[in-house]
Amino acid sequence: MAFRKDFLWGGACAANQFEGAWNVDGKGISVPDLCTNGTKRNPKCITTEIRENRFYPSHEAIDFYHHYKEDIALFCGDGIQSFQNIDQLDADLSNRNGRRAERKGACLL
């Protein structure tokens, strides 16, 4: 089987899996920011607030938010021709009081 000549190899990521920067540039707390890590004996959970004694994997992740230029260059070096980032702004909980967070962001296109 051959791919069409105009076929694009691509990749996609969800912000909660790799973005990091959970509390910078006006981003409000979202549901993934409240999800802890877990093990077989100690399952992950969703907390109602950030707790000092818990580990929240999405807070740092791979920190794509601060390193997107280098990361996209790596994608391109691997032959990736298109990239989709699923941002978590739609899940922003800061709108609970009728206010929307003003978040700084990078436009990649």
- H-only helix segments in 19-101: 64-77
Rounded distance between C-alpha atoms, residue 26 and residue 12, angstroms:
24
> Which carries the bigger pLDDT value, residue 98 or residue 39?
39
How high is the pLDDT of residue 14? 81
pLDDT digits (tens, 9 = 90+) for 55-91: 998 888 888 888 888 988 888 888 888 888 776 554 4
Residue 107 is predicted with a pLDDT of: 45
Task: Give me the DSSP letters along 52-102.
Answer: TTS--GGGTTT-HHHHHHHHHHHHHHTT--EEEEE-SGGGBGGGGGS----
Instruction: For tokens 């391109």, name the residue.
Output: 76
pLDDT in tens, 19-44: 888 888 877 788 888 999 989 998 99
